[in-house]
Amino acid sequence: MVEVIAIVGPTASGKTALSIELAKRLNGEIINGDSMQVYRGMDIGTAKIRPEEMDGIPHHLLDIRDPDESFSVAEYQSLVREKIAEIQQRGKLPIIVGGTGLYVQSVLFDYRFSKQQVDEELRQTLNAELERLGPGAMHSKLMELDPEIDIHPNNTRRVLRALEILLSGEEKEDGSLARTPMYDELIIGLDVPRAKLYERIDSRVDGMMESGLLDEVRRLHDSGLRDVQSIKAIGYKELYAYFDGMYSLEEAVAKLKRNSRQYAKRQFTYFRNKMPILWLDATVDAENNLGEIMRFWQENDRNRRIEQMAKTIR
């Protein structure tokens, strides 16, 4: 029987609404799978679910850090695995919901971390790749590992350092292990045609601005918060630039929409390449998708489920 469900997909694909209905049917509790929703006071820009939208379903790992605190995928992995055990002990089904692919993968698969120093062999390998492939390819490689990381493609030194950390030092993935499942899991992906998704993203950004995103970011900006992980998130960095006088408000919002669309594209790439996912059309009737999920959830043979899911991976 499935031990853990994850609902993944790009921003604005409808993960939150689906997760609530699924949790009602399966006696589930929801675990945040978004790296930015862990921060307090960053609600509108991260599209964090509001208490009145939870409909009585317990939600975990929201608002667990202040915006000036750092938060790593290794911390997330440890916290979520503890939370999964707690939820299961209560006889409930853990449902991870979010779009941060590396975070979700680190929990569901044998993704290992160490505190060892980066070895010189890896550094030489990355430098050789840089010479052979160029800075653009190295930045693309980094984006595949962590789509949310905010490093300019031309900042080659920081790109290489981030790759070193992700591949060896503090966050080390052994490719042969990172696909070994830790649970009997069912991963659901919500797919939206590109043009439709971009419409949803633009509309969501407009809605965020109407709901007070500018004031939310102004409070962070006026507090003196600078050069920390949280404000590098999409929706915050663009409006910080506006308050710093780099862009007009219209230009900042346009960049926010563009960056959100680009991020959604990277999310699709990550999920389709990294995990066995049951892809569902997010534009069809929700009841149809819930019925499909229930059918897979009831299937006890995990290998058979994966074979069926593999046919849906595009």
- Please tell me whether 99 is known to bind a ligand: no
Tell whether residue 101 is among the known ligand binding residues. Answer: no
CB 142 within 8 A of CB 163: yes
Q: Where are the domains of the chain?
A: 4-112+175-310, 120-167
Q: Say which residue the tokens 């991963």 belong to.
A: 187
Lowest mean pLDDT among 31-35, 277-281, 295-299: 295-299
Where do we find the tokens 């979520």? 80
Say whether pLDDT at 140 is over 70.
yes
Distance CA 139, CA 22 (A): 37
Q: How far is the first Cα of the chain from the last one, in angstroms, to the nearest whole number?
A: 26
Q: In this structure, are residues 11 and 264 in contact, taking their beta carbons and an 8 Å threshold?
A: yes
Give the whole-angstrom CA distance, residue 79 versus residue 61: 8
If you search the block for the tokens 């920390």, which residue do you land on? 228
Q: What is the mean pLDDT of residues 259-269?
A: 91
In this predicted structure, what is the pLDDT of residue 176?
Answer: 43
Residue 156 in marked binding region: no
Instruction: Determine whether the annotation assigns residue 46 to a binding site.
Output: no
The confidence band for 309, taking pLDDT boundaries of 50, 70 and 90, is low
Lowest mean pLDDT among 46-50, 108-112, 211-215: 108-112
Residue 57 has pLDDT above 90, yes or no: yes
160/166 Cα distance (integer angstroms): 10
85 is in an annotated binding site: no
**Is 269 a known ligand-binding residue?**
no
- Say whether 11 counts as a known binding-site residue: yes
Banded model confidence at residue 173, pLDDT cuts 50, 70, 90: very low
- Mean pLDDT confidence for 130-137: 85
CATH for 4-112+175-310, among 3.40.50.300, 3.30.1490.20, 1.10.3720.10, 3.40.640.10? Answer: 3.40.50.300
- The answer on whether 235 is annotated among ligand-binding residues is no
